[in-house]
Chains A and B, each alone.
Chain A
Amino acid sequence: EAGVAQSPRYKIIEKRQSVAFWCNPISGHATLYWYQQILGQGPKLLIQFQNNGVVDDSQLPKDRFSAERLKGVDSTLKIQPAKLEDSAVYLCASSFGSTGNEKLFFGSGTQLSVL
Chain B
Amino acid sequence: AQSVTQLGSHVSVSEGALVLLRCNYSSSVPPYLFWYVQYPNQGLQLLLKYTTGATLVKGINGFEAEFKKSETSFHLTKPSAHMSDAAEYFCAVSESGANSKLTFGKGITLSVRP
Contact = CB atoms under 8 A, between A and B. Distances in A.
Contacts of B101: 45, 48, 56
Interface of B: 4, 6, 9, 32, 36, 41-46, 49, 51, 90, 92, 94-107
Contacts of A55: 99
Given A44-B104, A101-B51, A107 B99 contact: no
B12 to A, nearest CB: 17
Contacts of B105: 42
B106 A99 contact: no
Contacts of A35: 104
Nearest to B52: A101
Contact of B49 (A93, A99, A101): A101
Residue of B43, B46, B51, B103 contacting most chain A CB atoms (<10 Å): B43
B97 A91 contact: no
Nearest to A56: B101
A43 B34 CA distance: 14
B9 A45 contact: no
